Structure formats: structure tokens, C-alpha cells
Amino acid sequence: MPELPEVETTRRGIAPHLEGRTVTRLVVRERRLRWPIPEDLAIQIEGQTFSQIRRRAKYLLMDIGGGSVISHLGMSGNLRLVPVGTPPLKHEHVDIELDSGLALRYTDPRRFGAMLWIRSGEVHPLLSKLGPEPLSDLFDGERLYQCSRGKSIAVKPFIMDNAVVVGVGNIYASEALFAAGIDPRREAGRISRARYLRLAIEIRRILGYAIERGGTTLRDFTGGDGQPGYFQQELFVYGRGGELCKVCGNTLSETRLGQRSSVFCRQCQR
């Protein structure tokens, strides 16, 4: 699943091609995504000009006219730019054609993503209960410590809870916990303030670095410019169960937490 760095990479890739450009036509070939594409979306955006492309958690918000198009990439979706009139392949469900001669094309093989509409000044229910952005000043180790008090849930699903902090998905939760030396199975409420201070630093560092590197390429994800990410080559634990730890040389262990596979090092993480 595309995570925060992949979505931010997509935002940075498409924003220069959308901002200041006018939509000439909306082409919807398949409306049945996770939630149906609104019937009046063409009325809302055709003839209007994109003003800003933003991100909130893993959602892209494309401000245009009297509101915003909200897009989510689902499990395996992507947005990329193609010349207007490029014949669509299977699973290429939506084209937003621009006055530049390019089209923003939405592809989603599993149709688990979304393309919705919200009017200016409204807060969509999908965004209303989200926690702070991990790279913002509203997120730090003190917040993790305070939110964790009394929690018996394992620390990994705890930091993946979007009400605590947004965008720390499976890949980057695994990597941040390894960097902070914290066993992902430990109860969130039993971790000290000092360790949460370090964990928050590692979450910020790893997400920021992954964005710089273009995100993590898994399966068929590519950035908005059509280029894959490169952070996958530098993963320490995610997807490496049974392999040797790059730090201590011990065999990495694998378990399941919150219905997700979790790889960790019993020597490096306590």
C-alpha cells in the first residue's frame, strides 16, 4: 500500500503540472471505487483552475473552484501524467484533462482507492478525526508518551493509529522502531518518555529521508512522474524476516501484530 512518503512523492510530482492549470474535461471510465465517484464531479471541476495540491495523511487534496478533489491511492493505485488522448489500459479509471495537453490519470487495479469531492470550508468525515502530521510541530515524543498511558496495545499498532499520528504505516513503523531499538511487541503504556522521545525523532527522520529518496517501491507503485522510489533498497527490517540483521548479524524474527506482519531483531530491539 502506498504510504505517506509515496503519497507525498506523488503530490510533489503532480503539483507543478496541475497548479495554475484549467480542467478541460473529466473522463470517468469506472465510477465504482471504494466509494463511488460523485456523479456531479465533472460539473464541479470542468472549466475550473487548480490552485493548490495538498496532502493530509495519505489523502491528496486538489483545491479547485469551490472545493477540493480528495484522492486516496488505496492498496495499489497511482496518479501519473500522460498526454491527452493516450489510450487507456485496463484499470485506468479516470482522466482529468488539462489545458496544457496533459491528463492526470488515476489507475487502481483493486478499485480500493477514492476520488471524492468536498466543498470549501467543509471537513470531510474521512479527515475529521486524524491526528497530527508526523513532520509537523504538533507531533513529538511527548505526545506519544501522553497518548500511550494506560494502553496495553503493542507499540507498533499504537503508532500506526491515525488518531495518534497520521501516516506511519507498516513499513515506516517497522523501520522507526528498529532505529529506536524498541521491540514492536512491547505494550505501548510500558514504554518510557525517553524512549518515546527517541522514537518520535526516528519517525520524523525516516519519513523525511524516505520522501527525499522518493518513497518505497512495492509491487506496482510509481511516483507521479512515473519514476519509482528508492528507499526500499535501504530497509533494515521490513520484509526481511529470516534474513540477517544488518547491524548485529542475528537472524531477524517475524510475527503478526494488528493483523500485519512485523519483522524485528531480538538483539537490537528491546
Q: Is 151 annotated as a binding residue?
A: yes
C-alpha span between 102 and 18 (Å, rounded): 9
3 catalytic? Reply is yes
111 catalytic? Reply is no
Q: Is 91 annotated as a binding residue?
A: yes
109 catalytic? Reply is no
Q: Let me know: does 216 contact 2? Beta carbons within 8 Å.
A: no
Q: Let me know: does 115 contact 70? Beta carbons within 8 Å.
A: yes
C-alpha span between 45 and 263 (Å, rounded): 44
CA distance readout (Å), 96 to 17, 60, 88, 184, 188: 12, 15, 13, 42, 44
Find the catalytic residue in 55, 58, 80, 156.
58
Q: Which residues contact 212 (CB under 8 A, 6 or more apart)?
A: none
2 catalytic? Reply is yes
E-strand stretches of 99-146: 102-107, 114-119
Find the catalytic residue in 3, 6, 97, 202.
3
Find the catalytic residue in 2, 5, 134, 184.
2
Q: What are phi and psi of 202, to 5 degrees?
A: -70, -40
List binding-site positions for DNA: 91, 110, 151
Active-site positions read 2-3, 58, 260
List binding-site positions: 91, 110, 151
